[in-house]
């Protein structure tokens, strides 16, 4: 159990938040975090590459000169990969890099990533974050008051808010996401996280909901297994 300070928009501590890290993730598996981050990065690759092989390069396949008697190194076609203007020995082709890890593994990786950031003291909690209208200046002032100015920061809110989004998007070192769109890559990429208490509550509620659904699915199977063993 850790106790986190909760700040307001001016950087003053206005309360505290008790959090059990084992509720987020029983343990932190670095290999799973690595696999999840690599998957998200691979899925962002465009794969739009193309180079010509020796069979696609324009030109004759005639031997450039006779094999022996010239004193020069032997040579074949001008399309050879060893010659300037020749084809590529291992020509690149368009490729789809997309793949997916199991859904439960990705959910667990997200929980582990957030638990790791809390464990390392890299999450700042704020009691609320809202704007009557988009104000980049006000958002910059909030980050400065919290000591996050000039630091790559992800702002996490409980739901999509157009005014918050527009207030953050013009800041070079800040980005914003609703809590339900978090994943391991988005959590681990910035240096710091600025999270509202409502967003953290929503994240914990989602974990509880997922666990209840999982138990409902597994309960009949477990009961059938116990019945089979007792028979």
pTM for this model (two decimals): 0.81
Angle at 153 between CA 149 and CA 158, to 5 degrees: 120
The string of pLDDT tens digits covering residues 58-78 is 999 999 999 999 999 999 999
Q: Of 3, 26, 25, which Cα lies nearest the Cα of 16?
A: 3
Question: CATH classification of 2-42+101-225 is 3.40.50.300, yes or no?
Answer: no
For the four alpha carbons of 219, 225, 228 and 231, in that order, the dihedral sign comes to: negative
Question: Tokens 């013009």 appear where?
Answer: 170
Residue 103 has pLDDT above 90, yes or no: yes
pLDDT of residue 210: 84
pLDDT of residue 228: 65
Task: State both tokens at 62.
Answer: 């005639």
Q: CB count, 10 Å around CB of 206?
A: 16
Q: In what order do the strands lie in the sheet with 123-126?
A: 13-19, 2-7, 123-126, 192-196, 153-157, 174-178
pLDDT of residue 223: 60
Q: Which residues make beta-bridge pairs with 124?
A: 194
- H/E stretch holding 14: strand 13-19
Q: Using a pLDDT cut of 90, give the percent of the chain over it.
A: 87
Q: Of 173, 24, 181, 46, which Cα lies nearest the Cα of 112?
A: 24
pLDDT of residue 222: 59
User: Which part of the chain is CATH 3.40.1370.10?
Assistant: 2-42+101-225
The string of pLDDT tens digits covering residues 125-175 is 999 999 999 999 999 999 999 999 999 999 999 999 999 999 999 999 999
- The CA-atom distances, in angstroms, between 129 and each of 11, 120, 140, 177 are 12, 23, 12, 13
């Amino acid at each position: 159990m850790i106790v986190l300070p909760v700040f307001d928009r001016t950087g003053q501590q206005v309360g505290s938040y008790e959090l059990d890290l084992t509720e987020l993730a029983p343990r932190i598996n670095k290999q799973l975090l690595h696999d999840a981050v690599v998957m998200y990065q691979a899925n962002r690759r465009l794969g739009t590459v193309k180079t010509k092989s020796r069979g696609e390069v324009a030109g004759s396949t005639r031997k450039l000169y006779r094999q022996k008697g010239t004193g020069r190194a032997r040579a074949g076609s001008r399309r050879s990969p060893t010659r300037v203007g020749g084809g590529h020995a291992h020509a690149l082709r368009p490729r789809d890099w997309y793949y997916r890890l199991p859904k439960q593994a990705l959910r667990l990786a997200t929980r582990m990533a957030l638990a790791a950031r809390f464990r390392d003291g890299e999450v700042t909690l704020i009691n609320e974050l809202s704007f009557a209208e988009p104000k980049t200046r006000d958002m910059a002032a909030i980050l400065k008051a919290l000591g996050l100015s000039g630091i790559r920061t992800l702002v996490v809110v409980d739901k999509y808010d157009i005014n918050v989004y527009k207030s953050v998007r013009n800041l070079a070192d800040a980005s914003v996401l609703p809590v339900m769109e978090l994943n391991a890559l988005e959590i681990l990429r910035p240096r710091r996280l600025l999270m509202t208490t409502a967003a953290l509550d929503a994240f914990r509620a989602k974990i509880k909901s997922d666990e209840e659904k999982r138990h409902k699915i597994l309960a009949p199977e477990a009961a059938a297994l116990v019945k089979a063993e007792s028979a």
